[in-house]
Amino acid sequence: MRIRYLPDTLINQIAAGEVVERPAAAVKEMVENSIDAGASRIEVSIEDGGKSLIVVRDDGSGMDREELTACLDRHATSKLPGDDLLNITHLGFRGEALASIAAVARVKIASRAQGGEAWEIACEGGRKAEPVPSSHPKGTQIEVRDLFYATPARLKFLKSERAEYLAVKDMVSRLAMAHPEAGFKLAHGGKTVFNLPPAMALKERLAALMVPEFQDDAMEITAEREGVTLSGYAGLPTLHRGTAQHQYLFVNGRPVRDKLLTGCVRAAYMDVMARDRHPLVALFLEVPPEEVDVNVHPAKAEVRFRDAAMIRSLIISALKNAIHTGGFQTARSVSGGALDTIGRNLAAANAPSYSHSPAGPALPLHRGGGAAVPASYARGSHQLAEAAYSVYEPQLDMGASIQPSARAEEPVPEQAAQEAEHYPLGAARAQIHENYIIAQTEKGLVIVDQHAAHERLVYEKFKAQLADSGIEKQGLLTPEIIEMEEAASMALLDHTEKLSELGLEIEPFGAGTLAVNAIPALLGEKPNVQRLVRDLADELLNSDNEQDSGALERRLNELLSTMACHGSIRSGRWMRADEMNALLRQMEATPLSGQCNHGRPTYIELSLNDIEKLFGRK
């Protein structure tokens, strides 16, 4: 056998497998070319997930006849005028994308440079035709049909239409986030997926591509360290999804995919979100070129940082900072959602109904008899009526009506109540359904979920004690003996020392049996020790097979959170007015009290303005 030089077409076909890989990668290369050409509008339309057709059209600088022929050649680029690899000012520079795509597909390019003639060129499986005159307006349109038709082996690796389409959509979304200055349109099978105008504000662009709530419920992130700057937006802890899909990282303007971000986000939100929920973030790093290698692989958007630990700590601390300052803030969309629901119910309740039946759902009656409820409320909106009733009743008969046993309690002195209204969470006026505190503020009302709120407070206290002198214990007069499955008791005994730090003293007491000698003092007078210990065992069994470095800290937090849940006021427990007010004041003084440790809001706020809207006064 003799060594020979491979023909160009073959070289390009081999390169295509790496450079374009799948339709989404071809789209990325072409859209980046449009951005490099200074386009202010970029339109991508695909058929069949991009497998049969990709068209990318832009209003950028365009190409003349000569450039149109050259752009299809390998290693032909206009973007490295000084032959200086360290001075890269464009997204492209290798000059191999178009050559690779044209080697494996049927490509047609039409283009016109400013003030020049329009030309069109075709290329099939690497065979270029001569350019012919065309009528294209300024800018460029590239049509790619039957990607990989020339390399059937490669073609087999393409996934379903849906999978390829989703990859294209994700790619164009990321590029559109990185370039809010340009307009982006994406269409699939003739249907518009999104159409974003040029010159959008970043936050607006992100919300349009992620979820609309991001507009209201995201915090701005800015930080800087050793010449690296971080900017972008991160969702409030009350905004979360079941997958980490909406977590985006951009390095020097390029979308990248890096596990680094997932880890950072997890660490930063650990305290405020359940483990199976994921926050929404879009972060932009500007890093001096010598600190990062973005081109580890031309198609895979990986990055390599010289000092990854520094970058990680920069991201985590910036996110944590924002969560702590934004923590005492209830998600606006949560209140908005509540308003929408009430509004819809009201509309339904007030809609004329011609089938009034006397046997409609019974209204909860006032104990003392009293205000008539409009008949229309009685139909179809039982829950609303009940809610309305519960809100009004205490005002009709303050104190006594909350619970019969409350009659002996002193009502809150009116003056004290008025003073308390100046606090952000206001003055507690009533408790309803033994779980919701209704407080009056200067500008409206606040509804607090007492269990969620208290759980947060206990959790924060546990953390403070742990950081300070260790969690305070309270010895049990007689040890509590608990029988459980052997695996569960072993899991607990394996962590005797850690549990002791957390305030729980246990010792073995025969197979599958434990003795509990002390519990955290914060758990109060009559905690259900059996339940607590079983929950902790479950927690340990569940997390035992996690080995990554954050697992230990995460587990500690999970344990604390389980204990906090046990140590907090149950829903269903009646509270005195002074207890409720004390809870509100503690919430105001506690970081992150806007959500419980599972990311659910602890309170929602309705302004008088909102309430007036509901009543059609505004």
Task: List residues binding Mg ion (CB under 5 A).
Answer: 33, 92, 97
Q: Which is nearer to ligand ADP, 92 or 601 (CB)?
A: 92
Q: Which is nearer to ligand ADP, 33 or 431 (CB)?
A: 33
Q: What minimum distance in Å lies between the beta carbon of 139 and ligand ADP?
A: 7
Following DSSP, what letter does each residue of 231-287 receive, concatenated?
EEEEE-TT-EESSSTTEEEEETTEEE--HHHHHHHHHHHGGGS-TT-EE-EEEEEE-
The one of ligand ADP, Mg ion, none whose footprint includes residue 78, by CB under 5 to 8 A per kind, is: ligand ADP
At its nearest, how many Å lie between ligand ADP and the CB of residue 30?
A: 7
Q: Give the residue with the Cβ less far from ligand ADP, 187 or 611.
A: 187
Please report, as a single letter, which amino acid is at residue 277.
R
142: which strand partners?
A: 56, 109
Six-digit token string for 51 = 């497998």
Q: In whole angstroms, how close is the CB of 144 to ligand ADP at the nearest point?
A: 12
Shortest Cβ 297–ligand ADP spacing (Å):
15
- Residue 333's binding partner among ligand ADP, Mg ion, none (Cβ under 5 to 8 angstroms by kind) is none
Residues 6+ apart with CB under 8 A from 129: 121, 122, 123
Minimum distance from CB of 448 to Mg ion (Å)? 55
CB of 107 to ligand ADP, least distance (A): 11
Nearest CB to ligand ADP, comparing residues 172 and 482: 172
Least spacing, CB of residue 236 vs Mg ion, in Å: 38
3-37 burial, b if ≥16 CB within 10 A, otherwise e? eeeeeebebbbebbbebbbbbbbbbbbbbbbbbbb
CA 401 from chain centre, in angstroms, equals: 42
- Please identify, using beta-carbon distances, which residue of 57 and 456 lies nearer to ligand ADP: 57
C-beta of residue 144 within 8 angstroms of C-beta of residue 112: no
**Closest residue to ligand ADP, based on beta-carbon distance:** 92
From the list ligand ADP, Mg ion, none, partner contacted by residue 563 (C-beta under 5 to 8 A by kind): none
The minimum distance between CB 532 and Mg ion, in angstroms, equals 60
Question: Cβ closer to Mg ion: 96 or 610?
Answer: 96
Q: Among Mg ion, ligand ADP, none, what binds residue 79 when CB lies within 5 to 8 Å by partner kind?
A: ligand ADP
Q: 141: closest CA among 48, 247, 63?
A: 63
Which among Mg ion, ligand ADP, none contacts residue 58 (Cβ within 5 to 8 A by kind)?
Answer: ligand ADP
CA distance 561 to 56: 51
Whole-angstrom distance, CA of residue 146 vs CA of residue 139: 24
Q: Which residue's C-beta sits nearest to Mg ion?
A: 92
Q: Which is nearer to Mg ion, 78 or 376 (CB)?
A: 78
- Spatial CA neighbour of 173 closest among 194, 200, 143: 194
- Specify the residue, 142 or 427, whose C-beta has the smaller distance to Mg ion: 142
Cβ–Cβ < 8 Å for 293, 251: no
Residues near ligand ADP (CB under 6 A) are 29, 33-34, 37, 58, 60-63, 71, 76-79, 92-99, 140
Answer yes or no: are the C-beta atoms of 49 and 165 closer than 8 Å: yes
Q: How far is the CB of 28 from Mg ion (least distance, A)?
A: 9
- What six digits make up the tokens of 194? 């999104």
- What count of residues does the chain have? 618
> Which tokens in the block code for residue 131?
């350019």
The tokens describing 235, both together, are 């969702």
- Nearer Cβ to ligand ADP (58/455): 58
Interacting partner of 71 out of ligand ADP, Mg ion, none (Cβ under 5 to 8 A depending on kind): ligand ADP
